[in-house]
């Protein structure tokens, strides 16, 4: 990349995959990216917190509280 083409502004690239083993080795070669962050599989508590924050609340959930830990353990 040429700095002249982006007016000397930094370029940020963000990508995500659940299959890092399937990435082309050329993408992960030294000098391609400054940082690579690996995140492990969340534990039950983190999954329940994520589900409770991101699942939409329907009329049913307002009437009856949902135990997300119990539901996620069923999966």
Q: What is the pLDDT of residues 3-55, one digit of tens each?
A: 567 777 777 788 888 888 888 888 888 887 778 888 888 887 887 787 777 66
Q: Which residues contact 45 (CB under 8 A, 6 or more apart)?
A: 69
CB-CB contact of 41 with 21 (8 Å):
no
Of residues 34 and 62, more confidence is placed in 34
Q: What is the pTM of this model?
A: 0.41
């Amino acid at each position: 990349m040429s700095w002249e083409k982006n007016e000397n502004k930094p370029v940020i690239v963000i990508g995500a995959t659940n299959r890092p083993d399937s990435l082309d080795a050329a993408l992960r070669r030294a000098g391609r990216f400054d940082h690579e962050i690996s995140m492990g599989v969340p534990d039950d508590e983190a999954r329940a917190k994520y589900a409770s924050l991101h699942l939409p609340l329907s009329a049913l959930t307002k009437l009856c509280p949902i135990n997300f830990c119990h539901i996620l353990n069923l999966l």
